[in-house]
Amino acid sequence: MKIQAINGFKDILPDEVTRWQHIEQVTRDIFHRFNFKEIRLPILEETQLFARSIGQSTDIVEKEMYSFTDKGITMRPEATASLLRAFIEHGMHVQQPVHKLYTIGPMFRHERPQKGRLRQFHQLDAEIIGAVEPEVDAELMAMGQLLLAELGLEASLEVNSLGCPQCRPAFRQKLVDYLEKYTDQLCGDCRRRISTNPLRVLDCKNPNCRELVNDAPSILDALCTDCDEHFARVRSSLDLLGVTYTPNPLMVRGLDYYTRTTFEFIARNLGAQSAVGAGGRYDGLIEELGGPKLSGIGFAMGIERLVLLLQEKDKSESAPRNQVDIFIAALGDQATLKCFQLAHLLRKTGIRAGMDYSGRSLKAQMKLAGRLGARFTLIVGDQELQEKKAGLRNMQDQSQEDFSLHQTPEETARNLKTIITESLPVNERPDFTRRQI
């Protein structure tokens, strides 16, 4: 019997991992510039944590969680709840007033797998705890947009306010009154949502429901003075930072804990799964989970969807990839041993070196060097070794020069390192300063 990966759970193969590493590297770089610190969290939590935070009548809690029902634990479907649980548990609020935290890792939801939608997927998650000012909302969205921009991706930002416990109940009632007039025209899910979670009707994907909610009362007309002012300042702060956005009063998000600002980054090339990232403010949640009375706001980006977008982009740009700086082609037993040693010394100095031990022909080895995207190939045969010389081929222009082996292996490695480094544009030169042999 052939055993395969479970539907919705995907292997990330080495060629693709390069993109994942790039995304993670850019993310960390940007998040650190905004003074975020990393936190690493467990995958399993008490089921109660998600039921209480995400909300009992949300799709995630109702039907998408992977739970061990006999043990009362669940594989996290998102990161915010776990992060806040840890924040409260470790009394982190006593250390300083505002915390900026991020985490990267897998999440689990039992959804129907399709392009950009998996059952194990991965998120980059950033949260700011302890700040209520609208500038913070704008800063966080600006950080998300910068991340997409530095990855070379385009996405639009949609922003809404969901009000607060002061103004939302009245809006909810107004919406229910409106929806009840059209019950028979709504989809089955939405008919149920009228009593459980009426705001969710606003972002139903069913064309009939969409048509109906276009004329529904708008949350932005129902905000209390404080929420209205907060939202106005979020918008003016975004303007100040030069972040372009579109207000979308129909965006409600699938998690109950949001208050005031919510937002989504929407990409054009993702088809049905167009949201690449999303987030919002959750001002009552920390207290709800038994913590101090602190505000919070955060967002999560889906790494799989970022990867899809980068793949699309690479198709049009076809960037060359260098897996090694130098390939060493050895011909003959003596040469192989010499090169074996040289490759290791090069790696110790920080150079990415490739080699093949199987005694293939020069032609086969040159092909391998090409496949690895080597910048140089050093060609050493037994005969040349006697004469202490080798050939150094520049793989970009295919020019070849003699390279003298009249040195100790360490000197040879150092010389090659200098040649390789100097062949690179200054901004692409690796930082070798600490690696000496």
Q: What is the size of the binding site for ligand ATP (CB under 6 A)?
A: 19
Torsion over CA: 235, 239, 243, 244 (sign): positive
Cα distance between residue 193 and residue 178, in whole Å: 13
277 binds ligand ATP (CB under 6 A): yes
Is the CB of 107 or the CB of 366 nearer to ligand ATP?
Answer: 107
Maximum distance among all Cα pairs of the chain, rounded to whole angstroms: 94
Closest CA to 179 of 205, 208, 159: 208
Q: In this chain, which stretch among 296-304, 341-349, 363-371, 425-433 interacts with ligand ATP, using CB under 6 A? A: 296-304
Out of 300, 307, 329, 378, which residue is the one contacting ligand ATP (CB under 6 A)? Answer: 300
HEC readout, the chain? CCCCCCCCCCCCCHHHHHHHHHHHHHHHHHHHHCCCEECCCCCEEEHHHHHHHHCCCCHHHHHHCEEECCCCEEECCCCHHHHHHHHHHCCHHHCCCCEEEEEEEEEECCCCCECCECCEEEEEEEEEECCCCHHHHHHHHHHHHHHHHHCCCCCEEEEEECCCCCCHHHHHHHHHHHHHCCHHHCCHHHHHHHHHCHHHHHHCCCHHHHHHHCCCCCHHHCCCHHHHHHHHHHHHHHHHCCCCCEECCCCCCCCCCCEEEEEEEECHHHCCCCEEEEEEECCCHHHHCCCCCCCEEEEEEEHHHHHHHHHHHHHHHCCCCCCCCEEEEEECHHHHHHHHHHHHHHHHCCCCEEECCCCCCHHHHHHHHHHCCCCEEEEEEHHHHHCCEEEEEECCCCCEEEEECCCCHHHHHHHHHHHHHHHCCHHHCCCCCCCCC
Smallest gap from residue 299 Cβ to ligand ATP (A): 8
Minimum CB separation of residue 119 from ligand ATP in Å reads 7
Q: Which is nearer to ligand ATP, 265 or 327 (CB)?
A: 265
State the minimum distance, in angstroms, from the CB of residue 120 to ligand ATP: 8
Pick one of 126, 138, 159, 275: the residue that binds ligand ATP (CB under 6 A).
275
Least distance to ligand ATP, CB of residue 219, Å: 17
Smallest distance from the beta carbon of 121 to ligand ATP, in angstroms?
Answer: 3
Which residue, 277 or 354, has its beta carbon nearer to ligand ATP? 277
Comparing CB distances to ligand ATP, the nearer of 31 and 121 is 121
Distance of closest approach, residue 307 Cβ to ligand ATP, in angstroms: 10
Q: Which stretch binds ligand ATP (CB under 6 A): 169-177, 205-213, 295-303, 333-341?
A: 295-303
Contact window for ligand ATP (CB under 6 A) among 22-30, 130-138, 219-227, 276-284: 276-284
Min CB(296)–ligand ATP separation in Å: 15
Report 222-261 residues binding ligand ATP (CB under 6 A): 254
Distances (CA, A) of 213 to 4, 46, 181, 216, 255: 43, 36, 12, 5, 19
Contact range with ligand ATP by CB under 6 A, out of 240-248, 268-276, 322-330, 349-357: 268-276
Interface of this chain with ligand ATP, residues 46 to 65, rule: CB under 6 A = none
What is the smallest separation between the CB atom of 327 and ligand ATP, expressed in angstroms? 38
* Among 188-196, 301-309, 325-333, 343-351, the segment contacting ligand ATP (CB under 6 A): 301-309
Show contacts with ligand ATP in window 172-201 (CB under 6 A).
none
Residue number with CB closer to ligand ATP (116 or 163): 116
Pairing of strands 99-108, 37-38: parallel
- In angstroms, the CA 407 to CA 364 distance is 28
Smallest gap, in angstroms, from Cβ of residue 392 to ligand ATP? 47
C-beta of residue 329 within 8 angstroms of C-beta of residue 343: no
CB of 203 to ligand ATP, least distance (A): 8
Residue nearest ligand ATP, CB atom distance: 302
Residues of span 107-146 touching ligand ATP by CB under 6 A: 109, 111, 116-118, 121, 123
Q: Which of residues 302-321 bind ligand ATP (CB under 6 A)?
A: 302, 304-305
Of 16 and 111, CB closest to ligand ATP: 111
Between 273 and 341, whose beta carbon lies closer to ligand ATP? 273
Task: Name the residues that contact ligand ATP, by CB under 6 A.
Answer: 78, 109, 111, 116-118, 121, 123, 254, 273, 275-278, 300-302, 304-305
